[in-house]
A and B are shown apart, each in its own frame.
Chain A
Amino acid sequence: AQSVSQHNHHVILSEAASLELGCNYSYGGTVNLFWYVQYPGQHLQLLLKYFSGDPLVKGIKGFEAEFIKSKFSFNLRKPSVQWSDTAEYFCAVNAVSGAGSYQLTFGKGTKLSVIP
């Protein structure tokens, strides 16, 4: 079974600092990759996704992620964080297999606190 690891449980940054959140997965086949964000008290929302093509994916609110197949990684980055980025971030991996099947696995999440 596939697994997703987010190594940082809680990251604390000052505004304008750069952000990189790690995500590694274990699955040798084709994958679709996602980052979701959950603002305090809200539901998960899609931040960005990767299916194929350019491994550098740009999402909403200035976030981007890079898929490095050789490292089984899909790290999330933002050059300059804002207080409003305070949230929990989830990496998710879907193993592409047979038609109709869906094996989406979420990481345990990384809580980001941005200090004004």
Chain B
Amino acid sequence: DAGVIQSPRHEVTEMGQEVTLRCKPISGHDYLFWYRQTMMRGLELLIYFNNNVPIDDSGMPEDRFSAKMPNASFSTLKIQPSEPRDSAVYFCASSSGDRGSSPLHFGNGTRLTVT
């Protein structure tokens, strides 16, 4: 089991540029989550999918953020245009669901720096 795979590990970009973060969940997991971690705000849930369908995107900061899950093995989180306050570590996690009794398996994260 390769675990949750995220790419890139680090991303440095200039303000105004488009950023795309990628995630491959664990095979067979039907839930996928995007979290953002900062010193100030801790771990924040941005959005989660169940069976490729977005269930709750209330944590997405604003319209500059969008997420897609075109199939069970791939998801993207896009920020367009990026701003310095978007700098954070973005984690993807997956779970087998079972009404919340299964733990989340996290990827190694993408450290985003927007200058």
Contact = CB atoms under 8 A, between A and B. Distances in A.
A and B pair up = yes
Interface of A: 32, 34, 36, 42-46, 49, 51, 90, 94-96, 99-109
Contacts, number: 59
Contacts of A34: 103
Query: Looking at chain A's contact residues, is the secondary structure mostly helix, strand, loop, or mixed?
Result: strand
Contact of B99 (A42, A45, A99, A109): A99
Contacts of A51: 101
A109 B38 CA distance: 11
A42 B108 contact: yes
Contacts of B34: none
Given A43-B109, A44-B106, A102-B56, 19 more contacts: A34-B103, A43-B91, A43-B106, A44-B91, A45-B106, A46-B103, A49-B101, A49-B103, A90-B43, A94-B100, A101-B55, A102-B31, A102-B48, A102-B55, A104-B100, A105-B45, A106-B43, A106-B45, A109-B43
B113 to A, nearest CB: 15
- Smallest CB-CB A-B distances: 9 pairs: A94-B100, A108-B42, A43-B106, A106-B43, A46-B103, A44-B106, A43-B108, A51-B101, A32-B100
Contacts of B106: 43-45
A13 B101 CA distance: 32
A96 B100 CA distance: 7
Nearest to A103: B100
B38 to A, nearest CB: 11
Given A43-B106, A99-B99, A104 B91 contact: no
B104 interface: yes
Nearest to B109: A43
B107 interface: yes
16 contacts: A32-B100, A32-B101, A43-B91, A43-B107, A49-B101, A49-B103, A90-B43, A94-B100, A101-B55, A101-B99, A101-B100, A102-B55, A102-B95, A103-B100, A105-B45, A108-B42
